[in-house]
């Protein structure tokens, strides 16, 4: 397999559970880049939420962010593709969310926004210390999020719900796609649901980027663990699921590698990219 592009999730895949980058993962990416492979994070995070140690690598340029709704060229400092939820539709969904025992926030223009009252309550819903720090660091508090979005009137990259009731979360993952057919629903951590335009997936974004760069997605490798990685894994020429991935992600993958805490990411890069670049 001639791997020319590696698109990979961060949380639960490239990062360990403490949100640190295992040194062997950086080493594997650097080795693949030296052999001509393009390295592309494909994350639910915004660009500013990507660890600086990754962004500062000299070969980094392309980023698939907010679950594929925003493809960013860091060299030119511009979006090369966007697939966003209209502001009015985002507000309609949040009005529905107001009937549920959840908190919510969103990404817009590469910033995170949340109602001030919700931000104060986030620790009750976000139980992972690393994710809690990200939310606190990357969210701009506004008086009321729906009013803020209506006032700006601009597209929204991603919506997010936070849950304490996991049974409700599970039911909604089944029910929401039928009730809101223009939106896609996925998860990246056990206590959230992420909402994007149906035109925004990591896999579609990878294919868009491949077309822009003159590459065949068959020569791409996708790695992930959450249901927001499912489309990436199925569209890439080699789809790799982490051992800790959701069951449907493991079932769809071409290969299941080790755990994100025990070198699984680096092992998959070595197996498919370092041995495969330049081969027939």
Per-residue pLDDT tens over the stretch 193-214 = 999 999 999 999 999 999 999 9
The share of the chain scoring above pLDDT 70, in percent, equals 98
For residue 278, the model assigns a pLDDT of 36
Token pair listed for 6 = 């590696």
Residue 223 and residue 218: Cα distance in Å, rounded?
A: 14
| pLDDT score of 277 more than 70 | no
Query: pLDDT tens-digit profile of 244-255?
Result: 999 999 999 999
The stretch 3-24 carries a mean pLDDT of 97
Indicate the fold that domain 87-197 takes in CATH. 3.30.1240
Query: pLDDT tens-digit profile of 18-50?
Result: 999 999 999 999 999 999 999 999 999 999 999
Residue 13 and residue 28: Cα distance in Å, rounded?
A: 14
For residue 279, the model assigns a pLDDT of 36
Domain limits of the chain?
5-83+200-274, 87-197
Residue 274 and residue 269: Cα distance in Å, rounded?
A: 6
The stretch 88-115 carries a mean pLDDT of 97
Query: pLDDT tens-digit profile of 123-132?
Result: 999 989 999 9
Indicate the fold that domain 5-83+200-274 takes in CATH. Rossmann fold (3.40.50)
Query: pLDDT tens-digit profile of 178-192?
Result: 999 999 999 988 999
- Which is it for the CA torsion 141, 188, 240, 70, positive or negative? negative
| pLDDT score of 217 more than 70 | yes
For residue 211, the model assigns a pLDDT of 98
For residue 88, the model assigns a pLDDT of 98
């Amino acid at each position: 397999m001639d791997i020319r592009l590696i698109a990979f999730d961060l949380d639960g895949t490239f990062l360990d559970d403490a949100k640190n980058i295992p040194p062997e993962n950086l080493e594997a990416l650097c080795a693949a880049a030296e052999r001509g492979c393009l390295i592309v994070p494909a994350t639910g995070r915004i660009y500013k939420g990507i660890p600086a140690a990754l962004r500062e690598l000299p070969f980094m340029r392309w980023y698939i962010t907010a679950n594929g709704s925003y493809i960013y060229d860091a060299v030119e400092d511009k979006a090369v593709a966007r697939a966003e939820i209209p502001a009015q539709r985002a507000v309609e969904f949040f009005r529905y969310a107001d009937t549920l025992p959840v908190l919510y926030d969103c990404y817009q223009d590469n910033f995170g926004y949340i109602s001030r009252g919700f931000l104060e309550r986030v620790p009750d819903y976000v139980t992972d210390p690393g994710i809690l720090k990200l939310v606190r660091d990357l969210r701009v508090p506004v008086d009321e999020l729906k009013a803020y979005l209506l006032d700006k009137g601009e597209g929204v990259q991603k919506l997010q719900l936070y849950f304490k009731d996991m049974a409700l979360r599970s039911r909604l993952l089944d029910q929401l796609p039928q009730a809101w057919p223009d939106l896609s629903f996925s998860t990246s951590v056990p206590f959230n649901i992420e909402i994007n335009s149906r035109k925004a997936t990591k896999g579609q974004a990878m294919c868009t980027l491949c077309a822009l760069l003159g590459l065949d997605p068959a020569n791409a490798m996708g790695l992930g663990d959450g249901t927001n990685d499912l489309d990436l894994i199925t569209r890439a020429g080699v789809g790799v699921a982490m051992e800790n991935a959701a069951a449907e992600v493991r079932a769809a993958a071409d290969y299941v590698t080790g755990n994100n805490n025990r070198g699984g990411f680096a092992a998959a890069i070595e197996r498919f990219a370092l041995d495969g670049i330049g081969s027939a």
